[in-house]
Structure 1
């Protein structure tokens, strides 16, 4: 397997050449946040879902909408609130009168039937409604009244959430968290960039974003990403990095046993490898390097590792655990 056909080589060239064009289009409305944009693009190219965490007012919603415009994909925004019901997301059956006076149940599709779903402030709704996304995220389908309805392809859930300690938020279930490829952190901008945002948003309206791709392009990128070769020792490093986060197992570092209650599962290693392939292509390479795995460790692991009460008491964060893992786990054994 590899990138051998002419169509695949064209897709690789298109990805490489379009990276700066994507950034230019997004720069019309988004200032800074280069690392956030890169991680979001990697997630989309790999066909994964993304959780975007940050305080209110940091342009999380604007970023997702702008990315959907660049890729010319259908977009639906769902504002998650405490009274949102599962049927408000997936759709519901209603009784309709047909010609001749007959009545029959008709399924009315919900906003989940689009390419890019912005689940805005996903942690402001109770777990029952959060769970309505699980089947859609994993199977790309929903079930209503015993019938299965496939979703449009490509399909992405890009969910924003406010920091969990804020009032009126609910922690996401671990099973749902694991289905997000990345947890991308959006932080406050440096002073110069924040000033640029103020100047830009209080002046004339920005130029409209121009679409650069189609849905068919995105699906082709997914196929190309999966065909990027990876050396066995690089894949082995990804597996060992994820495994080292699991406490009380053979070979687990002592600090993990002290600081971690629950470690990353198999999906973490799969994400590191698949994300590494997408990052390599976006960087103009056709092979995965150790640097790709290291660069994606934080967004891959931060929502899959649960720190212990002891770690919290000692002021140790999940970011500290990930940094220590990168220092401890050797790249070659």
Structure 2
């Protein structure tokens, strides 16, 4: 039997909107309170269990197996993904599937994290028994350390008792937020303990904008003869020809030592146009002390600099000498902007 869907008023008058917003802010407020309680607990009753859990995972030579069912299972899936992407090998095993053969995925070198808010979820019994039989470390994320899961675990991360945001106290809301936050806390603590760097992060995130932002400028910059460069003393007549040939809309100016001492942009051309403009040397027109970056700069940082300075090209310098150039178009091509 399918229950009829409750009728919802579709009125969009001010009082209805205010009621909806009040419901939303009440939920967010309760969940924020719950996270604050978890934070307090980490400095008190959760301090020893949490640090013990981090140590267990850190010294493991295997993987972290995360398991749960229902909403806790969904949260467990996300925790496993976060651990795996931050340097801790992990995957999710569904609690029900575990008792139908998936226990074979777990080895004695692994660590198991089991999630259950009540701690008495029947579907976890096979997993609990398996870890106890083969002495596989078991970390529980639950509400009660005296529940079946909590009492069986080597480490019980017993989260604070906070009411669900659901007005009936039934739909997992506050509880799942706390479980997810605890998973994030474990993952990032392990990341920092291992010294997991942004470049390490890139290895596991090669695709999309995130991967592109973690690329280095040196990986996409234009170098050598492709760079638009001219020596001080060059006439603007020659400079304009060079700018047109190179197609970057900018020209770098170097001194006799090869140091980058200025740039000429399309804006500089417009600002200095005059009757004898073409006969002037480039140093009379150039913008001195141009904005530059290093070759080891991440593309994400380069984008921020381009946006903050409202410019479209950047020279890369090493020891004050131009080593390359990038433009906003290059960042768009690799998906970083």
TM range (shorter): under 0.3
